[in-house]
């Protein structure tokens, strides 16, 4: 009987889980939407109910006795205050929620180093500062921390990736002194460990609830973005992963941290390497403003990806770009418009591919390794014409992603923790 590790991904729309063997093959997977349990996707009770239902579905298809470890990933920058028993004390502030208190933002801006990911209205630190006045608060947790605590009973531990936007100094391995100078109560911040570290074992209640052994390890997880990268199987410096979803996001594995806050670039540590990248305002959302999914499929079949339209598009939905060009007033460039709809789509695909290529060049200019290969995830990865255009512009090997499920990346961390604990 091959041992199994379980990765759980709690996202904006639902919960997903993967059971993985030590050779990284997937034994089973399950998914449950959040809206099955209520309309409020920011309610921790809804998160947990969805995770519970997903895990029970997953376990129904495998041998529960084979499970050795569990890890969780969550949305980056989602923060909630809890009491000493881990009970939420306020509605969480989600990954894209902004703190509108100018005094909080100003004190972070004064104290945080330029390279810190704690800058900005959506940072974890801004949310923690806003929440620390909640009566009875004992700890600030990230979404993944809180879900993992339902398994381990520990509500005082986080991982380096989730803690980055809350101001954790990954290179120094500690919460930096400047955070205290913002007025943050340091005792509220969790203990931080590397992703893939054993944080504890299942509580008696959790073991009985899911029919698992008490010695199953609960392993610290990561953010959803880092988990998605891990899931692809990229392991070597220079390997990149492009996510072609509503936005264009690129990440590259680096042998050193890369930081350029003005471009929204910062680095997560993954083992002994670093994951650096950025997100453009271009992407699938812009395409959807002009074409339906069905029309994109139809028109793509008529595109010759080996030729150029000669149109120099920079597809944006509205003015403003963050990466690889930092210009809040950058206008969309979608003219002149050809008569052929297929050519119009092709020029937009070329434009987004050009932004992708510029993004990887920008990372290299900032000190990242030269791009050696790309794995693609997201809905756009299935478009053969777009893939051919991208291959032509990037000039590197395109490799198949082993998985595009974030839960599979988190399962890899669960395997790591189980191995280090001698459970495999």
**Mean pLDDT per 10-residue segment, the chain (424 residues):** 95 94 97 89 95 98 97 96 98 94 97 92 96 97 98 98 96 96 98 97 98 98 94 96 93 95 89 93 95 97 97 96 93 96 98 98 96 95 97 97 95 97 94
d(C-alpha 331, C-alpha 341), whole Å:
22
Element (H, E) at 67: strand 67-74
> Residue-wise over 158-193: b if at least 16 C-beta within 10 A, else e?
bbbbbbbbbbbbbeeeebbebbeebebeeebbbebb
At residue 152, the pLDDT reads 98
Does 342 lie in the same domain as 278? yes
CATH number at residue 351: 3.30.420.40
Does 169 lie in the same domain as 253? no
At residue 40, the pLDDT reads 84
Does 259 lie in the same domain as 213? no
At residue 1, the pLDDT reads 80
Does 181 lie in the same domain as 84? yes
At residue 368, the pLDDT reads 97
- CB-based contact 140:206 (threshold 8 Å): no
> Residue-wise over 366-380: b if at least 16 C-beta within 10 A, else e?
eebbebeebbbbbeb
d(C-alpha 196, C-alpha 268), whole Å:
14
Instruction: Report the alpha-carbon angle 140-146-148, nearest 5.
Output: 140
At residue 319, the pLDDT reads 95
Does 200 lie in the same domain as 252? no
Does 245 lie in the same domain as 208? no
Does 44 lie in the same domain as 29? yes
At residue 271, the pLDDT reads 87
Does 349 lie in the same domain as 275? yes
> Residue-wise over 108-118: b if at least 16 C-beta within 10 A, else e?
beebbeebbbb
Does 183 lie in the same domain as 131? yes
Q: Which residues contact 351 (CB under 8 A, 6 or more apart)?
A: 282, 311, 312, 313, 314, 315, 333
246's tokens: 């509503």
| Distance separating the N- and C-terminal Cα atoms of the chain | 11
Helices 293-300 and 384-394: crossing angle in degrees, nearest 10, is 70
At residue 283, the pLDDT reads 95
At residue 96, the pLDDT reads 87
C-alpha gyration radius of the chain: 22
98's tokens: 């902004």
d(C-alpha 323, C-alpha 334), whole Å:
18
Q: Which of 324, 322, 330 shows the shortest CA–CA distance to 365?
A: 324
Does 313 lie in the same domain as 197? no
- CB-based contact 408:27 (threshold 8 Å): no
> Could you tell me the residue range of the domain that residue 250 belongs to?
234-399
Does 270 lie in the same domain as 157? no
Domain count, the chain: 2
Instruction: Report the alpha-carbon angle 86-413-22, nearest 5.
Output: 130
> Residue-wise over 65-102: b if at least 16 C-beta within 10 A, else e?
eebbbbbbbbbbbbbbbbeeebebeeebbbbebebeee
d(C-alpha 42, C-alpha 75), whole Å:
11
Does 193 lie in the same domain as 68? yes
User: What sections of 60-121 are H helices per DSSP?
Assistant: 102-111
The structure's pTM equals: 0.92
Q: Which residues contact 80 (CB under 8 A, 6 or more apart)?
A: 44, 88, 89, 90, 91, 92, 93, 131, 140, 141, 143, 146
The upper half-sphere exposure of residue 418, i.e. CA atoms within 13 Å in the direction of its Cβ, equals 25
Cis omega (within 30 of 0) for bond into 336: yes
């Amino acid at each position: 009987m091959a041992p199994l590790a379980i990765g759980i991904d709690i996202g904006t729309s639902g919960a997903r889980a993967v059971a993985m063997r030590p050779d990284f093959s997937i034994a089973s997977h399950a998914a449950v939407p959040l809206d099955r349990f209520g309309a409020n996707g920011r309610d921790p009770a809804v998160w947990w109910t969805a995770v519970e239902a997903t895990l029970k579905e997953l376990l129904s298809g495998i041998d529960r006795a084979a499970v050795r470890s569990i890890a969780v990933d969550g949305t980056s920058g989602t923060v909630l205050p809890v009491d000493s028993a881990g009970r939420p004390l306020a509605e969480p502030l989600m990954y894209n929620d902004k703190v509108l208190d100018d005094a909080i933002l100003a004190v972070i801006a004064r104290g945080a180093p330029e390279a810190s990911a704690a800058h900005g209205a959506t940072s974890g630190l801004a949310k923690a500062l806003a929440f620390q006045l909640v009566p009875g608060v004992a700890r600030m947790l990230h979404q993944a921390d809180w879900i993992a605590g339902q398994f381990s009973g520990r509500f005082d531990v986080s991982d380096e990736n989730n803690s980055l936007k809350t101001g954790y100094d990954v290179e120094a391995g500690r919460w930096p002194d400047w955070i205290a100078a913002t007025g943050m109560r340091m005792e509220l911040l969790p203990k931080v460990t590397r992703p893939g570290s054993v944080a504890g074992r299942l509580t008696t209640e959790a073991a009985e609830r899911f029919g698992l052994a008490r010695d199953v390890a609960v392993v610290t997880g990561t953010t959803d973005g880092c988990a998605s990268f891990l899931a692809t199987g990229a392991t070597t410096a220079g390997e990149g992963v492009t996510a072609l979803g509503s936005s264009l996001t690129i990440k590259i594995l680096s042998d050193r941290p890369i930081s350029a806050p003005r471009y929204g670039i910062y680095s997560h540590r993954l083992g002994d390497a670093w994951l650096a990248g950025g997100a453009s305002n271009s992407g699938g959302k812009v395409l959807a403003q002009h074409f339906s999914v069905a029309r994109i499929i139809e028109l793509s079949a008529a595109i010759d990806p080996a030729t150029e339209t000669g149109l120099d598009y920079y597809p944006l939905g509205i003015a403003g770009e963050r990466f690889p060009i930092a210009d809040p007033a950058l206008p969309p460039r979608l003219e002149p418009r050809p008569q052929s709809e297929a050519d119009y789509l092709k020029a937009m695909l070329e434009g987004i591919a050009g932004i992708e290529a510029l993004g990887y060049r920008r990372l290299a200019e900032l000190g990242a390794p030269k791009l050696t290969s790309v794995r693609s995830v997201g809905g756009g990865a299935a478009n053969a014409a777009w893939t051919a255009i991208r291959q032509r512009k990037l000039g590197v090997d395109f490799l198949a992603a082993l998985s595009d499920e974030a839960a599979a990346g988190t399962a890899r961390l669960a395997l790591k923790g189980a191995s280090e604990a001698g459970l495999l």
